[in-house]
Structure 1
Amino acid sequence: RPPSGESLVEVRRRVLNAHEGLADSLDADETVLVVSHGAPIRLSLGEVKGLDIVETMLSQPLDNGGLCELEVELSDDGDEPLVHVVAENETHFLTT
Protein backbone atom coordinates (compact mmCIF):
# COMPACT_ATOMS: atom_id res chain seq x y z
CA ARG A 1 0.00 0.00 0.00
CA PRO A 2 1.44 3.38 -0.93
CA PRO A 3 1.44 6.06 1.80
CA SER A 4 -2.10 7.45 2.15
CA GLY A 5 -3.26 5.13 -0.64
CA GLU A 6 -5.21 1.95 -1.15
CA SER A 7 -3.92 -1.59 -1.26
CA LEU A 8 -4.59 -3.55 -4.44
CA VAL A 9 -7.22 -5.55 -2.57
CA GLU A 10 -8.99 -2.33 -1.55
CA VAL A 11 -8.83 -0.98 -5.10
CA ARG A 12 -10.24 -4.29 -6.37
CA ARG A 13 -13.14 -4.12 -3.90
CA ARG A 14 -13.94 -0.52 -4.86
CA VAL A 15 -13.72 -1.18 -8.60
CA LEU A 16 -15.81 -4.35 -8.49
CA ASN A 17 -18.48 -2.63 -6.36
CA ALA A 18 -18.70 0.15 -8.95
CA HIS A 19 -18.64 -2.40 -11.81
CA GLU A 20 -21.49 -4.38 -10.23
CA GLY A 21 -23.51 -1.26 -9.45
CA LEU A 22 -23.18 -0.04 -13.02
CA ALA A 23 -24.13 -3.43 -14.49
CA ASP A 24 -27.16 -3.63 -12.19
CA SER A 25 -28.35 -0.15 -13.18
CA LEU A 26 -28.38 -0.67 -16.96
CA ASP A 27 -31.48 -0.91 -19.11
CA ALA A 28 -31.56 -3.59 -21.81
CA ASP A 29 -30.74 -1.20 -24.67
CA GLU A 30 -28.33 1.09 -22.83
CA THR A 31 -24.68 1.70 -23.79
CA VAL A 32 -22.21 3.19 -21.31
CA LEU A 33 -18.63 4.39 -21.84
CA VAL A 34 -16.24 4.13 -18.90
CA VAL A 35 -12.79 5.72 -19.16
CA SER A 36 -10.25 4.57 -16.60
CA HIS A 37 -6.65 3.83 -15.74
CA GLY A 38 -5.14 0.41 -16.41
CA ALA A 39 -5.51 -1.13 -12.94
CA PRO A 40 -9.30 -0.76 -12.75
CA ILE A 41 -9.64 -2.03 -16.33
CA ARG A 42 -7.48 -5.07 -15.52
CA LEU A 43 -9.46 -5.70 -12.33
CA SER A 44 -12.78 -5.59 -14.18
CA LEU A 45 -11.51 -7.86 -16.97
CA GLY A 46 -9.98 -10.25 -14.46
CA GLU A 47 -13.25 -10.56 -12.57
CA VAL A 48 -15.19 -11.31 -15.74
CA LYS A 49 -12.58 -13.90 -16.81
CA GLY A 50 -12.38 -15.49 -13.35
CA LEU A 51 -8.72 -14.65 -12.73
CA ASP A 52 -7.19 -14.29 -9.28
CA ILE A 53 -5.79 -10.91 -8.34
CA VAL A 54 -2.15 -11.77 -9.19
CA GLU A 55 -3.05 -13.20 -12.61
CA THR A 56 -5.33 -10.22 -13.16
CA MET A 57 -2.51 -7.72 -12.76
CA LEU A 58 0.30 -9.68 -14.44
CA SER A 59 -1.26 -11.51 -17.38
CA GLN A 60 -3.33 -8.83 -19.10
CA PRO A 61 -1.27 -6.39 -21.14
CA LEU A 62 -3.02 -3.12 -21.90
CA ASP A 63 -1.73 -0.43 -24.25
CA ASN A 64 -2.39 3.25 -23.61
CA GLY A 65 -5.64 4.10 -25.36
CA GLY A 66 -6.50 0.42 -25.89
CA LEU A 67 -10.21 -0.32 -26.02
CA CYS A 68 -11.85 -3.02 -23.94
CA GLU A 69 -15.51 -3.79 -24.41
CA LEU A 70 -17.73 -5.66 -21.99
CA GLU A 71 -21.30 -6.70 -22.70
CA VAL A 72 -23.92 -7.10 -20.01
CA GLU A 73 -26.79 -9.47 -20.65
CA LEU A 74 -29.83 -8.86 -18.50
CA SER A 75 -32.04 -11.76 -17.54
CA ASP A 76 -35.81 -11.60 -17.24
CA ASP A 77 -35.82 -13.66 -14.05
CA GLY A 78 -33.90 -11.11 -11.95
CA ASP A 79 -30.69 -13.12 -11.64
CA GLU A 80 -27.29 -11.47 -11.66
CA PRO A 81 -26.40 -9.78 -14.96
CA LEU A 82 -24.11 -11.90 -17.15
CA VAL A 83 -21.01 -9.97 -18.22
CA HIS A 84 -18.58 -11.12 -20.89
CA VAL A 85 -15.57 -9.69 -22.74
CA VAL A 86 -16.29 -8.62 -26.34
CA ALA A 87 -12.96 -6.88 -27.08
CA GLU A 88 -9.73 -6.58 -25.13
CA ASN A 89 -6.88 -4.11 -25.70
CA GLU A 90 -8.01 -3.17 -29.22
CA THR A 91 -5.59 -0.64 -30.67
CA HIS A 92 -6.16 -0.92 -34.44
CA PHE A 93 -7.80 2.52 -34.51
CA LEU A 94 -4.78 4.29 -32.97
CA THR A 95 -2.33 6.10 -35.24
CA THR A 96 1.38 6.31 -34.60
Structure 2
Amino acid sequence: RASLPWFLKDISGLHYDRNNGLLYVLSHESAVVVVSDLDGGRKVMSLRRGHCGLRRDIPQAEGIASDDRDTLWIVSEPNLFYRFTRMAAS
Protein backbone atom coordinates (compact mmCIF):
# COMPACT_ATOMS: atom_id res chain seq x y z
CA ARG A 1 0.00 0.00 0.00
CA ALA A 2 1.50 3.32 -1.07
CA SER A 3 1.01 6.57 0.76
CA LEU A 4 2.24 10.08 0.16
CA PRO A 5 4.56 11.84 2.58
CA TRP A 6 2.88 14.20 5.03
CA PHE A 7 4.95 17.17 3.86
CA LEU A 8 3.55 17.26 0.30
CA LYS A 9 1.33 20.32 -0.04
CA ASP A 10 0.15 19.49 -3.57
CA ILE A 11 0.72 17.19 -6.51
CA SER A 12 1.47 19.08 -9.69
CA GLY A 13 2.82 16.19 -11.73
CA LEU A 14 3.11 12.39 -11.79
CA HIS A 15 5.29 10.13 -13.90
CA TYR A 16 5.78 6.36 -13.81
CA ASP A 17 9.07 5.13 -15.27
CA ARG A 18 8.30 1.54 -16.20
CA ASN A 19 11.91 0.85 -17.25
CA ASN A 20 13.11 1.38 -13.68
CA GLY A 21 9.85 0.79 -11.77
CA LEU A 22 9.88 4.28 -10.25
CA LEU A 23 7.00 6.63 -9.53
CA TYR A 24 7.85 10.34 -9.52
CA VAL A 25 5.53 12.67 -7.60
CA LEU A 26 6.16 16.37 -8.27
CA SER A 27 5.04 19.07 -5.83
CA HIS A 28 5.63 22.68 -6.78
CA GLU A 29 4.38 24.07 -3.45
CA SER A 30 6.69 21.77 -1.48
CA ALA A 31 9.48 22.18 -4.11
CA VAL A 32 10.30 18.46 -4.17
CA VAL A 33 10.09 15.33 -6.24
CA VAL A 34 9.34 12.18 -4.26
CA VAL A 35 10.70 9.07 -5.99
CA SER A 36 9.13 5.77 -4.90
CA ASP A 37 10.08 2.27 -5.98
CA LEU A 38 7.96 -0.88 -6.10
CA ASP A 39 9.40 -2.11 -2.78
CA GLY A 40 8.20 0.96 -0.89
CA GLY A 41 11.56 2.72 -0.88
CA ARG A 42 11.38 6.47 -1.13
CA LYS A 43 13.81 9.29 -1.89
CA VAL A 44 13.17 13.01 -1.87
CA MET A 45 14.76 15.31 -4.44
CA SER A 46 14.76 19.00 -3.49
CA LEU A 47 14.05 21.56 -6.21
CA ARG A 48 15.71 24.34 -4.23
CA ARG A 49 18.93 26.18 -4.99
CA GLY A 50 22.01 24.28 -3.86
CA HIS A 51 20.49 20.82 -4.39
CA CYS A 52 20.93 18.58 -7.44
CA GLY A 53 23.23 21.15 -9.04
CA LEU A 54 20.58 23.90 -9.06
CA ARG A 55 21.79 27.49 -9.00
CA ARG A 56 18.25 28.78 -8.37
CA ASP A 57 15.00 27.40 -7.02
CA ILE A 58 12.75 25.88 -9.69
CA PRO A 59 9.73 28.21 -9.84
CA GLN A 60 6.29 26.59 -9.98
CA ALA A 61 7.25 23.16 -11.33
CA GLU A 62 4.26 21.79 -13.24
CA GLY A 63 5.32 18.74 -15.25
CA ILE A 64 7.69 15.78 -15.01
CA ALA A 65 8.82 13.04 -17.42
CA SER A 66 11.79 10.80 -18.11
CA ASP A 67 13.26 9.36 -21.28
CA ASP A 68 14.90 6.07 -22.22
CA ARG A 69 18.33 7.48 -21.29
CA ASP A 70 17.35 7.90 -17.60
CA THR A 71 17.13 11.67 -18.03
CA LEU A 72 14.54 13.35 -15.82
CA TRP A 73 12.79 16.40 -17.25
CA ILE A 74 10.88 19.03 -15.26
CA VAL A 75 8.98 21.92 -16.78
CA SER A 76 8.04 25.01 -14.80
CA GLU A 77 6.49 28.41 -15.29
CA PRO A 78 7.25 30.42 -17.40
CA ASN A 79 8.13 27.68 -19.92
CA LEU A 80 11.43 26.70 -18.29
CA PHE A 81 12.83 23.19 -18.83
CA TYR A 82 15.22 21.45 -16.44
CA ARG A 83 17.21 18.32 -17.25
CA PHE A 84 18.61 15.99 -14.60
CA THR A 85 20.93 13.12 -15.47
CA ARG A 86 22.25 10.34 -13.26
CA MET A 87 25.88 10.67 -12.26
CA ALA A 88 28.04 7.62 -12.96
CA ALA A 89 29.30 5.88 -9.83
CA SER A 90 33.07 6.11 -9.40
Give yes or no for TM over 0.5: no
Query: What is the TM-score of this pair, normalised by structure 1?
Result: 0.29
More strand per residue: 2
More helix per residue: 1
Bigger Rg, structure 1 or 2: 1
Query: What is the TM-score of this pair, normalised by structure 2?
Result: 0.30
